Structure 1
Amino acid sequence: MASKVIHAIYNDDDILMNAVKAVRNEHYHIEEVYTPFPVHGLDKAMGLAGTRIAITSFMYGLVGLSVAIIMMNFIMIQDWPQNIGGKPSFSYIENMPAFVPIMFEMTVFFAAHLMVITFYMRSKLWPFKKAENPDPRTTDDHFLMAIDAGSHDVEKISKFLKETGAIEISLIENEDDH
């Protein structure tokens, strides 16, 4: 079964923002919006849910802190205790002030690297992945809004999009893989 998607191209980000709000008011489903640069407030105008990326970053930082504590306790206290600068190596608690920089750096290291991996996995950006950009002009100076036509009247939606300021409208029929 084929799905119909309408591509509306705009040449100004302010016009695009107003068009997104108008399309949402008419209760049409916006599949995606492609822009050459980040448009402030577009996610809210599209009605996208907030991100939970800060929670994952905090959890990754806790993993890094835990690894640092376990690593330093094993290396500096249990496996190879050394008397460095007159500091006794009898317990981790006695030496913890000296370990604070290592704990901080490992927390940041784990959070940063695991966040990059999470971003690539969540965005489905794999090595050698083919670009999914429907129109190359959206990487330069145009904005594209993809609207699911579904069971709606395509002519009516197209006329409505022209009224919102679209400079070009095209109907794309995709074959489903199911």
Structure 2
Amino acid sequence: MASKVIHAIYNDDDILMHAVKDVRAANYHIEEVYTPFPVHGLDKVMGLEPTRIAITSFMYGLVGLAVAIIMMNFIMIEDWPQNIGGKPSFSYIANMPAFVPIMFELTVFFAAHLMVITFYMRSKLWPFKKAENPDVRTTDDHFLMAVDAGNHDIEKLTQLLHNTGAIEISLIDNDEDH
């Protein structure tokens, strides 16, 4: 992370969106934006790459489907075949219609749970992790944009942020923390 960061606080998500566009157009690097709720389109305006969590969810669903097929074949056909309702117990294909709900449920179960675990691991959200939120007001009703002030003219950047509608601007020196 940069040694000097400017925190600009906004009180409206629309103003924040326009501010992010203006700051990026002026070729400044936005370290992070903290919001009390998801702001639709903010990731695109910030220039972030699209997420690949949907691809991992699909793969986890395929794993769940494979586990369901293998599990049902072993339990109901190979290990303990039973004549339930006159259905033949010697063929997986003949029993497939009865297995569809189980296949669906395990596909959804694996996709949902493994996707959440992947999200937490990728986001480094561990149990008992200390919050990294720089201003507690961003959990209620304010928005914070952290802009790298590294080698830039701080007065010019502060004026730009003020012109974009920031209600509060502060310079944070991260070298003091270490």
TM-score range (shorter-chain normalised) is over 0.9
Equivalent residues of 1:11, 1:142 under 8 A apart: yes
After TM superposition, list the pairs within 5 Å mapping 1:27-106 onto structure 2. Answer: 27-106=27-106
Q: 4+ residue runs of structure 1 moved beyond 3 angstroms?
A: 175-178
Q: Please report the TM-score for the alignment, with normalisation by the length of structure 2.
A: 0.95
Give me the CA root mean square deviation. Answer: 1.8
Q: 2: CA distance between counterparts of 1:150 and 1:122?
A: 27
Q: What's the CA shift string for 1:36-84, capped at 9, x where partnerless?
A: 1121211111111111111111000000000000000111111111111
Equivalent residues of 1:13, 1:39 under 8 A apart: yes
Amino acid at match of 1:12: D
Equivalent residues of 1:32, 1:145 under 8 A apart: yes
Cα distance, 1:175 vs structure 2: 3.2
Structure 2 gap segments, 5+ residues each:
none
Q: What's the CA shift string for 1:107-129, capped at 9, x where partnerless?
A: 01101111111111111111111
Amino acid at match of 2:14: D
Structure 1 gap segments, 5+ residues each:
none
Q: Which residue of 2 aligns with 1:123?
A: 123
Q: Which residue of 2 aligns with 1:139?
A: 139
The structure-2 alpha-carbon separation of the partners of 1:38 and 1:141, relative to structure 1 and needing over 3 Å to count, comes to: same
Amino acid at match of 2:138: T
Equivalent residues of 1:16, 1:143 under 8 A apart: yes
Cα distance, 1:130 vs structure 2: 0.6
What fraction of aligned residue pairs are identical, expressed as a percent? 86
Number of corresponding residues: 178
Cα distance, 1:14 vs structure 2: 1.3
